[in-house]
Structure 1
Amino acid sequence: MRRITAGLAATTAGVALLIGVKAHSASAPRSALAGLGGTRPVASGPSAPAGTRPSPSRTATANGGFDGSVIQTQYGPVQVQAVFRDGRLSNVVVLQRTSGGRSSQIDSYALPVLTAEALKAQSADIDVVSGATFTSDGYAQSLQAALDAAGR
């Protein structure tokens, strides 16, 4: 009987601790670019390196598509293209996404949310989608590289 009582007390304390931690972590949204602390995206493939800038004449109107860097996440690569029209971010096209099992399911709901947030913010300073932290971080880093390539 004492073991049962001790087990219930320990379980109750553990649940209370988890609820307290969850409530604290849900207090404020986190930017997908927060805490990068000087890390640079890794470019690969045909996309331009993150620090590359196009010629000034091209950035004056900033029309067209600019590929972001390929960002390697724990669940695979993420790459986006920023599309500009009349100098404004008009679309974000996903060129590469994580794949396989649960990652495909997560991306199917997270990527449209991230795109809507980026278009609204007109920047890569967007909130992380809950449950899609790695995809969100990769998306934001690749989008920032594309914005940098566009001179924005």
Structure 2
Amino acid sequence: MRATTAALALTGCSVALLIGVRAGTGGLPRSALTGADRAAGPGSGTTTAPRATSAATGTFTGAVEDTPYGTVQVEAVVRGGRLTDVTVLQQTHGGRSDQIDAYALPVLRSEALAAGSADIDVVSGATYTSGGYARSLQAALDAARR
């Protein structure tokens, strides 16, 4: 009986320790589009999204990004090395995609302009569109730095 109680107590302590250690390793919050998702798409060169740091000025077209619901492509307007506008050239169509894009694309544009980069958060319910948008925008910003 004592051995069973001791084993249960030890197991409980071990689980609590593992949960505590795991919870403490999260670090600072980061964009849901960093890392593997951003690196997975065509036109994405890095896992971070640095600002267009050159004194570039012009309109730069991003890569066409395929998603399970269609393609996404954006065009970035850069003035003096700063992102000043983003226009959607291609977006997903059909079914719920039209409804999803109607609310997601303005949010993504607003976040990109506020961040001045493609380091933006995923819009809930529009994961694929968000990923394609961010990858295409990153490709446009990469072109602006060349």
Q: Is the 8 A contact 2:41 2:65 kept in 1?
A: no
Segments of structure 1 that go 5 or more residues without pairing to the other structure are 1-27, 43-49, 52-58
| Seq. identity, % | 61
TM-score (ref. length: structure 1): 0.66
Larger radius of gyration: 2
Residues in 1 aligned to 2:79 and 2:33: alpha-carbon distance in whole angstroms = 25
Residues in 2 aligned to 1:37 and 1:67: alpha-carbon distance in whole angstroms = 17
CA deviation vs aligned residue, 1:52-93 (integer Å, no higher than 9, x gap) = xxxxxxx85311110000000000000001101232100000
TM-score (ref. length: structure 2): 0.68
Asked whether 1:89 is paired with 2:51, we answer no
Residues in 2 aligned to 1:29 and 1:105: alpha-carbon distance in whole angstroms = 27
The list of structure 1 runs, each at least 4 consecutive aligned residues, that deviate by more than 4 angstroms after superposition, is none
1:13 is matched with which residue?
A: none
Q: Is the 8 A contact 2:38 2:134 kept in 1?
A: no
Question: RMSD in angstroms over aligned alpha carbons?
Answer: 2.2
1:143 is matched with which residue?
A: 137
Name the aligned partner's letter for residue 36 of structure 2: G
Asked whether 1:109 is paired with 2:118, we answer no
1:34 is matched with which residue?
A: 35
Asked whether 1:77 is paired with 2:43, we answer no
Segments of structure 2 that go 5 or more residues without pairing to the other structure are 1-28, 46-52
